[in-house]
Amino acid sequence: MAEELGAPNTRGALVNQMSRDSDAFAAGLRPGDIIITFNSRTVEDASAFMRMLGDSKAGTAARIEIRRESRRLELTIPITRTRRTPR
């Protein structure tokens, strides 16, 4: 899959899906992007990314580096609380 996406290795967290009304989408993150750094820390895999995100304080912003179609881009993503859907 990494080769298919133009990535040089298997490190990072692939964005599979996301809500178009999310703050991350508004900040420029898209499905198919591979998150490779989070606040200058290397993202080894999706689990590592989720830990980094979970350790972040709501109301702040994270600087992420992504790979999109063989290009590297930097985005600033707001850290917000998870919106839960009522059951």
Q: What is the pLDDT of residues 14-70, one digit of tens each?
A: 999 999 999 999 999 999 999 999 999 999 999 999 999 999 999 999 999 999 988
pTM of the model: 0.81
Question: In the chain, where are the structural domains located?
Answer: 13-78
Q: How many CB atoms lie within 10 A of CB 29?
A: 20
Distance between first and last Cα of the chain: 35
- Residue 69 pLDDT: 85
- Are 67 and 5 contacting, i.e. CB atoms less than 8 angstroms apart? yes
The topology under which CATH files domain 13-78 is Pdz3 Domain (2.30.42)
Q: Which two tokens stand for residue 25?
A: 């989408």
Q: How far is CA 45 from CA 21, 52, 59, 86, in A?
A: 25, 11, 24, 30
Confidence of residue 11 (pLDDT cuts 50, 70, 90): confident
